[in-house]
Amino acid sequence: MLGAAVAWFFYAWRAGHLLKLSGYVAETREELRKCTWPTWAELKGSTVIVFISLGVLATFTVVVDVVITALVRLF
């Protein structure tokens, strides 16, 4: 198992795959530095909005289910 890992490492090194991988990681880090991250207050506000939306959607789903079930039983 260790021999296969070492063989793969040398193959990737000789083929230039490790340089491509390190370049990809460096570019990804640079792009993440350009991102604007939300503040703690914005994050909490967005989380509250998501939970409220989930509650509204769940309530709507239950109401529609009850109504459709009542209509099916009626017929």
Whether 31 and 62 map to the same domain: the answer is: no
Judge whether residue 28 has pLDDT over 80.
yes
pTM higher than the cut 0.85: no
Q: Decide if 59 contacts 67 (C-beta within 8 A).
A: no
Same domain membership, residue 51 and residue 28: no
What's the pLDDT score for residue 13?
Answer: 74
Are both 50 and 67 inside the same structural domain?
A: yes
pLDDT at 21: 78
Average pLDDT of the chain to the nearest whole number: 90
DSSP 18-54: HHHHHHHHHHHHHHHHHSPPPPHHHHHHHHHHHHHHH
Q: Is the pLDDT of residue 20 over 90?
A: no
- Residues 23 and 49 both lie in one domain: no
Q: Which residue has the tokens 């063989």?
A: 7
Domain of 70 in residue numbering reads as 38-75
Q: Is the pLDDT of residue 75 over 80?
A: yes
